[in-house]
Amino acid sequence: MIILPVLKNQIMDESIKYPGQELKLFEKAINWKKYFSQLLQPCIHGTVLECGAGIGATTKMLNNGTYHEWILLEPDKEMANLLRNKISRNELPANCKVIEGTISSFENKSVFDTILYIDVLEHIENDNEEIERAAFCLNNGGHLIILSPAFPSLYSKFDNAIGHYRRYTKKKLRSLLPASLKQRSLRYLDSSGFFLSFTNRIFLKQKYPTEKQVHFWDKLLIPVSKISDKIFNYSFGRSILGIWQKISNDVK
């Protein structure tokens, strides 16, 4: 049985419309999803909130059906309905529940053990307020996990086309986190993809990558990144992954 926190409005007064063309494009980037999933999976537990669940591609990879409950928070009405249909068709685990809205919908504090922002935070204009609300909703000992595009110097026509407000550095992400959250891990990922993004930023200047380009990156470059990231000690990459844990006020 899904236990939900109290909501201000389960259905938002004004539904947010998200273009989302890239979601289908990257849905089959299985090697990439497996790569980052292996790094963050150990910190996912209990009651999970996945912010900006989109079309459920990340949910499929991360949710094995054993978690207490998995809330799919999605502000786009069409995508929220798509997620509900996937649950009803058993394409997503039975522990999933869809809520159409944003983190501001939740009134109760300390209701989640894990909160996920997988390629989502960069779409939110006021990211500082967003993270403050997320920290408020975490149980003590719970984890906040953020995966986002890295390095403002790589910001491209593609970022602009899909509604990215920014790309992140370690310094920028750290500046968003309140004192109640203790950093467990912060690293850059996909060093090979960094050079691919740089090439597009300087030379190709494409608004969208092609399916062949995505396939090339996922099948050939991600396996290389898994090795090169370790060699370079996760010091640069196309993406940034941060994991923080909420610490009780009683803990000094």
- d(CA 121, CA 148) in angstroms, rounded, equals 7
Whether 14 is in a domain gets the answer no
pLDDT (0 to 100) of residue 217 = 95
Whether 40 is in a domain gets the answer yes
Phi, psi torsion values for 145, nearest 5 degrees: -125, 125
Whether 111 is in a domain gets the answer yes
Whether 3 is in a domain gets the answer no
Whether 78 is in a domain gets the answer yes
Instruction: Give the total number of structural domains in the chain.
Output: 1
The 10s digit of each residue's pLDDT in 155-198 is: 998 899 899 999 999 999 999 999 999 999 999 999 999 999 98
- d(CA 204, CA 198) in angstroms, rounded, equals 9
22: pLDDT confidence band, cut at 50, 70 and 90? confident
Asked if the model's pLDDT at residue 18 lies above 80, the reply is no
Contact between 149 and 121 under an 8 Å Cβ cutoff? The reply is: no
Q: What residue type is assigned to position 190 of the chain?
A: D
Q: Which of 153, 164, 165 is nearest to 198 (CA)?
A: 153
Whether 203 is in a domain gets the answer yes
Domain range for 114 is 21-246
150: pLDDT confidence band, cut at 50, 70 and 90? very high
- d(CA 157, CA 170) in angstroms, rounded, equals 23
The 10s digit of each residue's pLDDT in 60-109 is: 999 999 999 999 999 999 999 999 999 999 999 999 999 999 998 887 67
Whether 13 is in a domain gets the answer no
- d(CA 173, CA 232) in angstroms, rounded, equals 20
Asked if the model's pLDDT at residue 147 lies above 80, the reply is yes
pLDDT (0 to 100) of residue 24 = 83
Counting residues of the chain whose pLDDT is more than 70, the rounded percentage is 88
Q: Strand 181-189 to strand 239-246: parallel, antiparallel, or no bridges (unpaired)?
A: antiparallel
Q: What is the DSSP string of 136-189?
A: HHEEEEEEEEEEEEB-GGG--HHHHHTT----B-HHHHHHH--TTEEEEEEEEE
Whether 220 is in a domain gets the answer yes
Contact between 162 and 207 under an 8 Å Cβ cutoff? The reply is: no
Contact between 176 and 225 under an 8 Å Cβ cutoff? The reply is: no
Q: What is the mean pLDDT of the chain?
A: 89
Question: What CATH number is attached to the domain comprising 198?
Answer: 3.40.50.150
Q: What's the average model confidence in pLDDT over 30-55?
A: 97
